[in-house]
Structure formats: structure tokens, C-alpha cells
Amino acid sequence: MQNNLKFVCELIGLRFQHLMMFRLGFWGPFFVDGSLFLVELMVFQAIYANVETIGPWGKGEMVIFIGTFSLVNAVNMVVYFFGVNNISDKIRSGDIDLYLTKPVSPLLRLSFEQVNPGSLPLVLLSICILWYGVGLCGIEVTPGLAAGYAAWVILMIILWYEMEVIIRSLTFFVVSTNNITRLEEAGIDLCMKIPGVVFRGIYKLLFYLILPYGIIATFPTMYISGEGSVKMWVYGIGVVTGFGFLTAFLWKTGLKRYNSVSS
């Protein structure tokens, strides 16, 4: 574990050194991602400006929901998205051969070799949105409440990572994952705009269990607004654990089936 941590720190250090060689490439994403965030915020404002409630939630809960989804997505973009997103291409091209010959986990290296500090402004802006939503709801933030919310956010970041790896690991087994990737994008886009508390029937089954993007911002919002329960904790931890085992199984099975392009 200690060796893996040192390796990840070295990867991040090398990534920053590479980015700093091209200053515009380092600072440019700060402004681009910040601008995109403001555009998204204006879109949400236009959508929800004349809406009093969505399901059982008022405007305060919806602002917290938007801020939470944005925060999880921002951390995803900073830490592992650009590395994980390349998995499919590296499998098809055979570039993953280079990772298999290294004395560290290929998934670990793929996950952290493309850290993107350009999305850090989204993290800060998301926290500002969260603070505004908490104020609208009149929530008194205690250390325990903040710690519990942080635990939920970490769980959802892990779940998002697992989902991304699972979908891209399918490249080991099928010719193309383009349709699956489009399904992923559609699911994320829908669940970013509609809170999970309004899903019923087949939609709840789909976005709470099969493609659990519906809980990513919903459960942390429910917790911080006082709607959380032990059952919700058990379900959330169970989903993250279950998808963790599925991620490990698909990745390891895929590596066993993988044939090097040089063989």
C-alpha cells in the first residue's frame, strides 16, 4: 500500500512537471472549465427559476443537489477521468502491453497518470454552490454533519470511478463500446438534472441499481438535509462494495482474456 501511494505521488509530480513545461496548457483549463461551469449554472438557473419544488425537494435542496453532482464530477475530472477514459483506446491499440510489463498495477497507473489540475476551479465553485444551498435550507453545519457528508461524497466518487472502469473494461470482451459509452453519457446527463427522489418503478431500478448514477448526488443531499437513514447508509455502502467487486472481476478477467497485439 505504501509503495502504491509513493508511486501515485510520483505520477502526479511528473504530470505537473509536464504541464508546467507548457504554461498555457496548464492555466488554460482553469479558465475554460470555470467558464463552462458558469454556463451550466446559468442553464440550471433558467430551468429552476420558476419551479418551487421538484418532488419533495425545495430550491435549497436542489441547489445542494446541483453542487454535489458538480463536486463529484469535478473531483472525477481532476483525479482519474482522463486516465480511465483512455483505457478502451489502449486496449484496442495494444498500448496496454506497456503497462502490463511494469511492476505496478496497470489499472493504478492508468487511473492516475493523467491528473488534470485544470478542473480544480470546478471543485471550488461547487463548494460555493453547496454553501449557498445550505444557507437556503437553513441547515446548521456541525463537524459531524460535515464529516458524514464528506463520507458520502467520497463513496460516490468511488462509485463513479467504478462505473467508468467497468464500462471501459468491456472493451476486453466486445469489439466496440461506443453504444455503451453513449448510454453512460445519457444516464449521467439525466441524473445530473433530475434528482433520484423523483424516480419510481423501472426508472428507480435502473438508476439506483443497474446504472446507479441516480444516487450519486441524491444520497449526499438527503443526508445533509436531514433525510438520511441507516437503511440509506447500508444501501449506499452495499452498492459501492458490490460494484467494487464487479470492477475487480471484469478487469482481472479481461486481462486474462487479453491477447497482446504483438503475439
State pLDDT tens for residues 78-126.
888 888 988 988 888 888 888 888 777 888 888 887 777 777 778 888 8
d(CA 243, CA 93): 27
> C-alpha distances in angstroms, 206 versus 95, 166, 210, 257?
34, 16, 5, 29
Torsion sign over Cα 197, 158, 234, 246: positive
Q: What's the structural domain count of the chain?
A: 1
Average pLDDT, the chain: 82
**pLDDT at position 95, please?**
85
Report which residue type is found at 23: R
Q: Do 74 and 126 touch, CB atoms closer than 8 A?
A: yes
Per-residue pLDDT, averaged over 32-46, amounts to 66
**206 — pLDDT class (breaks 50, 70, 90):** very high
Neighbours of 41 (CB within 10 A): 15
**2 — pLDDT class (breaks 50, 70, 90):** very low
**36 — pLDDT class (breaks 50, 70, 90):** low
For residue 6, tell me if it sits in a domain.
no
d(CA 119, CA 79): 9
For residue 113, tell me if it sits in a domain.
yes
DSSP string, 187-208: HHHHHHHS-GGG--HHHHHIII
**pLDDT at position 43, please?**
67
The conformation of residue 100, written as its DSSP 8-state character, comes to H
For residue 64, tell me if it sits in a domain.
yes
Radius of gyration for the alpha carbons in the chain, expressed in angstroms and rounded: 19
For residue 53, tell me if it sits in a domain.
yes
Q: Do 97 and 262 touch, CB atoms closer than 8 A?
A: yes
Q: Which three cell numbers stand for residue 223?
A: 443526508
Per-residue pLDDT, averaged over 157-167, amounts to 95
- Put simply, whether the predicted model's pTM sits higher than 0.75 gets the answer yes
Domain residues for the domain of 65 are 12-257
For residue 262, tell me if it sits in a domain.
no
Beta partners for residue 54, in sequence order: 57
User: Given the C-alpha cell 433530475, which residue does it identify?
Assistant: 194
For residue 3, tell me if it sits in a domain.
no
Q: Which three cell numbers stand for residue 60?
A: 435549497
**pLDDT at position 4, please?**
55
**pLDDT at position 24, please?**
47
Per-residue pLDDT, averaged over 226-236, amounts to 93
For residue 135, tell me if it sits in a domain.
yes
For residue 1, tell me if it sits in a domain.
no
Q: Nearest to residue 112, comparing CAs of 247, 17, 11?
A: 11
